[in-house]
Structure 1
């Protein structure tokens, strides 16, 4: 497991609200739907891939629709990039509220003062707020408070159902895996060492990775594709996540996207940046075995 060294607290710069979001952004339903771009990858199962290649050689399986899509050679999946919080582990959205609300500070047994962790409401982005603070001391103190909450939350991480099964499968098929997350390094390391000690993810892109804007900017995925030496950039990758930022980053990078659905993000199923959706991680095994095809519904 490798990761770039974290950045030191940055001097005040012009705020970049969309590119600096810490919390998962689930977005709003689209008012006007666009037609989703069809995406497909060859089956990872050798037998099914051979059957598909025979069908291609025979002329793509007939007239229009899927047959026309198969008239060209199907791309081979080169790797899968995962978000972390809400994707590899169950969502821990409560910690973002803790970052915004007040913390009790006992002075005497009968006197408890409440100090604001950040003193901001939900309309203000957490990382943007920290980076906009006027002095290095204030930025360092605020960042430390946020990381303390994240460290406390990481001890309560619970893996997503199907996590180990999916990673075992990808390893067995020789599929590379990387992470692209808005977390800092410690919670990511804790999750991997606790729940996935036998698996390797490289590179690991966090919010502290130098010179890369966080999601929804596609920089992280494009960096991963470059590190892997992929000739077609990120177009031969799949981005798996649970937020609009994940879907948008993947879409802008040219990757196919898979949404892990929960009670908060169902509106993203129909978003034009979402290619496929699943309810549980190991549902992706059958999809990749048979050949990734979108759009299609998964029950």
Structure 2
């Protein structure tokens, strides 16, 4: 893992504690329980989609005020930056929500504005376009990159981009999609530090 040059992170549930109650958001927006929110909105007539997207933006901005860091998140990002690694964010949230969350976590200074991609800057995961965009920005090949997240969309995007994948979640529900699995950022950081000491 220490040979990986580019680290791309999901945000909610990965660097922050999961706070999105997706069933509640679907109910508030009138979206069927089984549908992915962004995919559903994309399929609506433009006028209707605009109204619901504004509602979704307002919900996310409201949630951003109460964001809390995941265990070890800030230490992990600072460790990677001090080791000379590229770090980026690829989230299905708004760019403004991502920036606000990183400020609350105290690590906004670790990311350039261009390395934070929200749903308006790149097609939402599992589309790998955002990963390709960041790797092009950094001139890093996919085999030297990793996508880190807490859901299958993160892992599917990483797989589709040709890079490594790491699941941060208590349960490894997608073992065929994850190259590595840790409970949280703290455990991932511990693995990296152990590897550094043994080299």
Query: TM-score, normalised on structure 1?
Result: 0.60
Q: 1:252 aligns with which of 160, 175, 194?
A: 160
Deviation at 1:272, TM superposition (A): 1.5
Query: TM-score, normalised on structure 2?
Result: 0.88
The answer to whether the Cα contact below 8 Å between 1:167 and 1:199 also exists between their aligned partners in 2 is no
Deviation at 1:82, TM superposition (A): 0.4
Quick check: 1:122 aligned with 2:4?
A: no
Deviation at 1:198, TM superposition (A): 5.5
The answer to whether the Cα contact below 8 Å between 1:251 and 1:257 also exists between their aligned partners in 2 is yes
2:123 is matched with 213
Q: Which structure has the bigger radius of gyration?
A: 1
**What is the Cα-based RMSD across aligned positions, in Å?**
1.9
Deviation at 1:146, TM superposition (A): 0.9
Deviation at 1:260, TM superposition (A): 0.5
2:144 is matched with 236
Q: 1:97 aligns with which of 23, 43, 61?
A: 23
1:18 is matched with none
Using CA pairs below 8 Å that are at least 6 residues apart, which structure has the higher relative contact order?
A: 1
CA distance in 1, matches of 2:5, 2:46: 44
The DSSP-based 3-state class of the residue aligned with 2:40 is: helix
CA distance in 1, matches of 2:152, 2:107: 29
1:85 is matched with 12
The DSSP-based 3-state class of the residue aligned with 1:259 is: strand
The answer to whether the Cα contact below 8 Å between 2:14 and 2:184 also exists between their aligned partners in 1 is no
Question: How many residues are treated as equivalent by the alignment?
Answer: 194
| CA distances 1:74-123 after superposition (whole Å, capped 9, x unpaired) | xx3212110001101011231x223222xxxxxxxxxxxxxxx4222212
Quick check: 1:266 aligned with 2:172?
A: yes
Deviation at 1:130, TM superposition (A): 2.0
Q: 1:165 aligns with which of 53, 58, 75?
A: 75
CA distance in 2, matches of 1:133, 1:164: 38
2:182 is matched with 278
Unaligned runs of 5+ in 2: none
Deviation at 1:290, TM superposition (A): 4.8
Q: List structure 1 segments (4+ residues) > 6 angstroms apart after TM superposition.
A: none
| CA distances 1:161-216 after superposition (whole Å, capped 9, x unpaired) | 1112112211221111001111111211111111124632241121111xx42211
More helix by share: 2
Deviation at 1:159, TM superposition (A): 0.6
CA distance in 2, matches of 1:222, 1:168: 23
2:92 is matched with 182
